[in-house]
Amino acid sequence: MYKDKKVIVVMPAYNAAQTLKKTYDEVMEQGVVDEVILVDDASKDETSEIGKSLPHTTVHTHPKNRGYGGNQKSCYRIALEHGADIVIMVHPDYQYTPQLIPAMASIIANGLYPCVLGSRILGGHSLGGGMPIWKYVANRFLTAAENIILGAKLSEYHTGYRAFSREILESLPLDANSDDFVFDNQMLAQILWKGFEIAEVTCPTKYFDEASSINFRRSMKYGFGCLGTAMTFRLAKMGLIKSPLFV
């Protein structure tokens, strides 16, 4: 345990056989992770089989694909059932470096912030790290709009590298969220709704063939979903509507 806190890394996985072992090895090399929980969203490759061969790893396999958000719901539920005090989501495609795990865990363990994001925008090297220009422009536009509507000052809302305290995960109505990619955005809006503070650390950007990514069409759907989440948040704050996302 890290500072008497149980640190669990959750990996929402889909067809991650090529990069899972590499990601896992670097996660465990950090020396602060007690357990890895791998949720395989009905992969068509050997993701589950590889996961079951890894020490200190619990593998849960969905019989049918539930989507990225549905995968995370299982990740966080199982992590809490296993006694996690700090939960860090690391994608098993190796797009986000596990070397930031000690810093992210330390921020939460020391009571500084209950949520930490690995930001690809802080530091100004996202384009140099291979982020497609259209993704960068969309990221900046959506983040600016969301900061205005949500009343926050984050550098980005769209990173998949996140750490949470147990308190946050127990307080959020995650089952009300989408099973699709907009789950990530809804979760951050819920954290802000509850009044929790969010920290950010600079995270190097890596894009390569094996790294998971959504195409332009799904990115457009995700973008509109993010704006819809922000508007729902604002209208609920004003008392004009009620939403199961914000209770």
Instruction: Kindly report, residue by residue over 92-121, the tens digit of the pLDDT.
Output: 999 899 999 999 999 999 999 999 999 988
Regarding beta strands 115-119 and 198-202, do their DSSP bridges make them parallel or antiparallel, or are they unpaired? parallel
Model confidence at 154: pLDDT above 70: yes
Beta bridge partners of 58: 37
For residue 165, which of 244, 122, 112 has the smallest C-alpha distance? 112
For the stretch 22-61, pLDDT in tens is 999 999 999 999 999 999 999 999 999 999 999 999 999 9
Q: Residue 145 contacts by C-beta under 8 Å, 6 or more apart in sequence?
A: 227, 230
Model confidence at 129: pLDDT above 80: no
∠ CA 163-175-76, nearest 5°, is 30
Q: Residue 246 contacts by C-beta under 8 Å, 6 or more apart in sequence?
A: 189, 190, 193, 232, 233, 236, 237
For residue 143, which of 135, 134, 133, 153 has the smallest C-alpha distance? 153
SS3 at position 225: helix
Tell me, what's the pLDDT at 64?
A: 97
Model confidence at 212: pLDDT above 60: no
Sequence letter at residue 152? A
For residue 176, which of 120, 105, 229 has the smallest C-alpha distance? 229
Where along the chain do its domains lie? 7-237
Q: What integer is the mean pLDDT of 176-185? A: 96
Residues 190 and 229: beta-carbon distance below 8 Å: no
Q: Residue 120 contacts by C-beta under 8 Å, 6 or more apart in sequence?
A: 126, 129, 131, 156, 159, 203, 204, 205
Note the CATH architecture for domain 7-237: Alpha-Beta Complex (3.90)
